[in-house]
Amino acid sequence: MSPEWQGNISKAFSNRSFVIGLTITVLLALMAALSLVWTPYAVGSFDILGKLKPPSAAHWLGTDHFGRDILSMIMVGSRNSIAVAFVSVVIGAGVGVPLGLWAAARGGMIDEALMRFNDLVFAFPALLSAVMITAVFGPGAINAIIAIGIFNIPVFARVARGAALSLWPREYVLAARASGKGSARITVEHILPNMMNLLVVQGTIQFSLGILAEAGLSYVGLGSQPPMPSWGRMLFEAQTMIGMAPHMALYPGLAIVITVLGLNLLGDGLRDILDPKMRRERS
């Protein structure tokens, strides 16, 4: 373990944002994992007689218009949110980071081409990509993943490129070049490891944005489809019942807010802990 990490761990647990964020995130992950083996009620079980019930001892968060248990649906829905956000971060980082590193290492035309590619992708917010994909292929959770993932690519490419450009003129990179190392090797040994902090923080931010974007897409019907429960879809269904059963809208929304808040706090905390600006050794 590098000394940086040893120092960081003690610093991490005195950082309030990090601790709260990590707690929320871990609880959420546990809830999603638990839903794989157990939920209070089966999410497929309809109970027309017990529909639109406000929260009670039997149904902690009440039931929806089909009498389904809202807590169980939130639990199962979390899997959907996490999966979509996670895979789109993986797509974004997996494609974007190598692109950014490559552009920074080569410079010139390749760098220029990457910047223009970024401009192009930035012109397509995830919603617009999803609209196009759905118009052609029909709706589905996979659309959301692709649309959000594509939008993540330039984000990671830009972060990786910027960080790499600031690392290349460093004297230790020059020393490595004077030791005959090629740009691929230097990128792996010196550039990438020294930007991991930034990438982890950006990953957290994109993860939370992914949760929000997925909720938005499934709310307008461009994301996961029934019967798979998703938080955005639950809010869509709650909309027509808002007068009769406001709890249907309240809890899935709160689930989104708490999840995103937790991830953002985690990201803020990580940035405070890892930010090279705040741990400048020289001053």
Choose which of 163, 260, 266, 274 interacts with another protein (CB under 8 A).
Answer: 260
Nearer CB in complex with another protein: 83/261: 261
What's the token pair of residue 9? 């761990």
For residues 193 and 173, what is the distance between their CA atoms, to the nearest angstrom?
12
For residues 39 and 266, what is the distance between their CA atoms, to the nearest angstrom?
27
Radius of gyration of the chain (CA): 22
For residues 181 and 131, what is the distance between their CA atoms, to the nearest angstrom?
46
The reply to whether 175 sits near another protein by the rule CB under 8 A is: yes
The reply to whether 14 sits near another protein by the rule CB under 8 A is: no
The reply to whether 108 sits near another protein by the rule CB under 8 A is: no
Q: How far is the CB of 34 from another protein (least distance, A)?
A: 23
Choose which of 91, 114, 215, 273 interacts with another protein (CB under 8 A).
Answer: 215
Give the side-chain half-sphere CA count within 13 A for 182: 3
User: Hey, which residues between 218 and 247 contact another protein (CB under 8 A)?
Assistant: 219-222, 232, 235, 238-239, 242-243, 246
The reply to whether 170 sits near another protein by the rule CB under 8 A is: yes
Most distant CA pair in the chain: distance in Å?
77
Q: How far is the CB of 49 from another protein (least distance, A)?
A: 25
User: Hey, which residues between 67 and 106 contact another protein (CB under 8 A)?
Assistant: none
Using CB under 8 A, which of the segments 53-61, 90-98, 131-139, 157-165 binds another protein? 131-139
H helix runs in the chain, sequence order = 3-12, 16-37, 70-106, 108-122, 126-137, 141-167, 171-178, 183-186, 196-219, 231-239, 247-274
Q: Which residue, among 205, 222, 201, has the nearest Cα to 128 in the 3D structure? A: 222
Interaction pattern, residues 45-64, with another protein; x per rule: CB under 8 A: --------------------
Using CB under 8 A, which of the segments 55-63, 79-87, 101-109, 187-195 binds another protein? 187-195
Q: How far is the CB of 171 from another protein (least distance, A)?
A: 4
Nearer CB in complex with another protein: 40/140: 140
Q: Given CA atoms 247, 248, 249, 252 in this order, what sign does their dihedral have?
A: positive
The reply to whether 109 sits near another protein by the rule CB under 8 A is: no
Q: Which amino acid makes up residue 110?
A: I
Backbone angles phi, psi at 210, to 5 degrees: -60, -40
The reply to whether 2 sits near another protein by the rule CB under 8 A is: yes
The reply to whether 113 sits near another protein by the rule CB under 8 A is: no
Backbone angles phi, psi at 63, to 5 degrees: -125, 165
